[in-house]
Amino acid sequence: MKRSSEVLPAFGSKSHRIRSSGAMSRAVLQTFEEYQKARVTFVQTVADLATRPQNIDALQNAGVMALLRPLLLDTVASIQQSAALALGRLANFSEQLAESVVTHEILPQLVYSLAQQNRFYKKAAAFVLRAVAKHSVGLAQAVVDSGALESLVVCLEEFDPSVKEAAAWALGYIAKHSQELAQSVVDAGAVPLLVLAFQEPDLTLKRISASALSDVAKHSPELAQLVVDAGATSLMVKEVSNSDAPLKRQVCSCLAQIAKHSVDLAEVVVEAEIFPNILHCLKDVDQVVRKNAATCIRELARHTPDLAKLIVNAGGIAAVVDYVNEASGNSRLPGIMALGYVAAFSETLALAVVVSKGIPPLKDALISEPEDHVKAAAAWSLGQIGRHTPDHARALAEADVLRRILAVYLHQDSSEDLQIKAKRALKSIVQKCTHLPALEPLLDSPPNILKYVVQQFAKVLPNDAEARKAFVQSGSLQKLQEASTEHGSKLQEMVDSINLLYPPEIVQYYSPNYAATLLKKMEGFAPTG
């Protein structure tokens, strides 16, 4: 019994040790669980706080970057993802915070994890890379230098569309800044995969892929050709008639970026049968779709008479005129320029603009648009219409365009570029205009414009007796005598040549000092009888 009683304490102490060990394990696990919960709460709260601009400065002052950095390598996947999401939102907010992501050496960690982790983390990591790259060339280059391109291109091959979207978006933000960065994206093999992504049924992926391809194509003919060679053009032309407005925006933009570089690339877009569907986009309910479609037509019109003629034959001029009538502000600009480009090539094409009633909306833009660069474009386009023949110039003159261009030129608040464009337009129209009544209001012009006006009178009046009579009756001969001209100047010579067409007493009668001369004669006159 004694032996038995000696055994019992020993048995009891072992059991006690087991119970104590279990209690300690639970305590340790609870500590780790609490730490994990705290990390989860922290990153989720920071990610939520980062969505509100008023919290950004406080988060930055609290050293949030340094605290989030180690959590990117956390053992818990959800914490990694939330940390990446928080960093993306912070970097997206400002260039300064994006630079902070770079200086805290966060990019290499993201790139490393991008190749290792699940699709949720990949999406969040790609968001950070995009948020950093969007701000400047330097930050986009930092993303490239971190080795991100290869990992992002691999993400384009993922099954999950949302991962492809995030990667395509980041690649587009890198490519948009410069030709060199776009070339880096191309060299990483992104273009063929972006074209494949564009063919996916997911609409968001289509939009973002088209946007990224546009950002590549815009920089140079060579980069645009690579996009074309990957088969993008015909695929995008098919989507011009898609019902999704955001997709049409990107598609029209990308096609414009391809077409702008050269005749060959513009012809590729046309040969993909972009007409007439692109014209339908000019009537789209979405304003950006309309503007991007007009931009695409402008880029096609600028290259050759044949391309301009193709637009005319497709009914494009009437559609663009309607667009310019309905649009306002900067949205008007591509339509205004398209009409000018078409009109510039030949008198036949310019006549097509006139017949399609293109002059009134261009005149309206010249008068009513508040921005000088839009006014300047309208003046330029009007000049391209009127510079061909007297008939073209007369169409503008009868629409009272000349006086309006002169008013813009003389306005004290007009920019230098607007004044230059207005002067050139006036000169080119006036030098073709033989409709003298339309030129008469311009006899009040400053000498640098007046000389072109007087030159036209000097050409026409010698051969037209009725015009010479009307010139006197309208008061124009008197205005001509009142014009300030330098003795011996070319302008004075032309005035003298016109004066020779009339009897000296008529010229003298309309001279400014005629009344004074008569008074002097009266003073020296002695009445007879």
Q: So what's the pLDDT on residue 236? A: 93
Which domains occur in the chain, in start order? 19-186 (1.25.10.10), 435-518 (no CATH)
What pLDDT sits at residue 524? 57
The predicted-structure confidence for 83-104, as pLDDT tens digits, reads as follows 888 888 888 887 888 888 888 8
Provide the pLDDT for residue 449: 83
What local confidence, expressed as pLDDT, does residue 6 receive? 44
Return the ∠ at Cα 147 (arms to 88 and 137), rounded to 5°: 65
Which pLDDT score is estimated for 193? 94
- Determine the straight-line distance between the first and last CA of the chain, rounded to whole angstroms: 181
Alpha carbon of 433 to those of 143, 188, 395, 418: distances in Å? Answer: 59, 58, 9, 22
Distance between CA atoms of residues 302 and 307, nearest Å: 8
Measured at the alpha carbon of residue 49, what is the angle toward residues 46 and 50, in degrees to the nearest 5?
85
Low-confidence ranges of the chain (pLDDT < 70): 1-24, 116-117, 484, 488, 513-529
Structure confidence by residue, pLDDT tens digits, 213-249: 999 999 999 999 999 999 999 999 999 988 899 999 9
Q: Is the pTM of this model over 0.85?
A: no
Helix 245-259 with 203-217: angle, nearest 10 deg:
20
Please name which of 215, 136, 233, 153 lies closest in space to residue 179, comparing C-alpha atoms: 215
